[in-house]
Amino acid sequence: MSDSSNKKPRVNVRRPDVMELVSAEVAVHYQSSLVEKIKDQGGKLTVGNTTLLLAKDFGFCYGVERAIDLAYASRKVFPDNRIFLIGEIIHNPEVNRQLREMNIVSLPWREIDASYDDLTENDVVIVPAFGAPTHFMDKIEQRGCYTVDTTCGDVMKVWRRVRGYAKDGITSIIHGKADHEETRATSSRALGEHGKGHYLIILTLADTDFVCNYICNGGDKQAFLDRFSGSYSQGFDPDRDLKKIGVANQTTMLKSETQEIQNRLSKAISDRDGSAENFSVFDTICGATQERQDALFEMLKTKMDLLLVVGGYNSSNTAHLVEIGEKELPTFFISDASQIKSLHEIVHYDLHHAKETTSNYAEVFTGKEKVIIGLTAGASCPNNLIEATVKKVFELRGEKL
């Protein structure tokens, strides 16, 4: 069995000779000349009676591109080694399928199981763009594996923030999904260097109001712990650990909601203490997430008949684009073009019931002489899937590109 004395330095696979090969392969798999042409002409394509609008910012962000490049490079640098990946590299089925075809094997990301004990010094472990909890990293180090870390820089900024909170005796209030890979990784860093820090994960404004009421008025401690079961650090005590709080967030949350959560918590601390001295906050929403949300808000100023949002169903940033769109017009969350079945059927993901459903929505394709269709995509969606969606829309409208 390996131990920490056999720890290998993290591998730099971004060698110029390797990246030249990777760039060519990634371009074949994910890029689209059609999408680039639409972008170059202002994000608008009209053919016959059909107009398609593409959001100004959509699809792959830098952090996602970097993670994919590093995963592809790992196979180039280690052609004969076993390569493993903690969970998924990003939340997109097509990208993860490509990695499986390169014989990159996914390890469990919720819990460390026996498969981690089978890792050897010759194995390579890729850390996904979301990062991984500290105990996963410790386990990989113990096994003496090569490590390729693709964690997004924006995620690591949040980690630095929550580590700072822990050092200063501040409890991290993390706006995020408790069972999301990134939030789990962030919460492990909120424990601090010596594991004595504390965190509380909240998701909704209702969660926020519950916490605010407890901050101001106290309450039933057990009821508090029951409500947030699984979403706080070991030994968390709301009577003690809500005295000084600092907000951080999963980087892909809805920006406006995170800001509202910050405002309500700040007010609660001020109402209790007479000032906000015991409240800390720093904006840790990912820049790419903000850009894609802002671009959609801008596109929604134009009248459209329908909005298509393309991305993985488990993609948080994509889901928030759907939430924004569906408040304004019929919005369909699809993983790829194959879900637009015909002029009468769209198979899409229903966020409110957390399941795939089918809608009969023929009037957009058949019932109007002229239609305007909006299209955007989450930060983990490649351009080849966007191209396929564009082509399917015009095909069903009887237009040739």
> Catalytic amino acids?
182
Check: CB of residue 203 under 8 Å from CB of residue 254.
no
Give the Cα separation of 273 and 395 in Å (integer).
62
Output the CA–CA distances (angstroms, integers) from residue 179 to 46, 109, 124, 383, in the order listed.
Answer: 42, 10, 25, 28
Look up tokens 């993609």; give the residue: 315
Which element (helix H / strand E) includes 85?
A: strand 83-86
Residues 6+ apart with CB under 8 A from 349: 313, 322, 333, 334, 335, 355, 356, 357
Give the Cα separation of 322 and 331 in Å (integer).
7
Give the Cα separation of 62 and 143 in Å (integer).
31
The amino acid that residue 320 corresponds to is: H
Check: CB of residue 232 under 8 Å from CB of residue 198.
yes
Q: Which structure tokens are listed for 231?
A: 């979403």
Q: Which structure tokens are listed for 137?
A: 């990293």
CA atoms within 13 A on the CB side of 387: 13
Give the Cα separation of 92 and 334 in Å (integer).
12
Give the Cα separation of 112 and 136 in Å (integer).
7
Residues 6+ apart with CB under 8 A from 331: 306, 307, 308, 309, 322, 325
Q: Which structure tokens are listed for 216?
A: 């101001």
Check: CB of residue 191 under 8 Å from CB of residue 170.
no
Look up tokens 């406006």; give the residue: 256
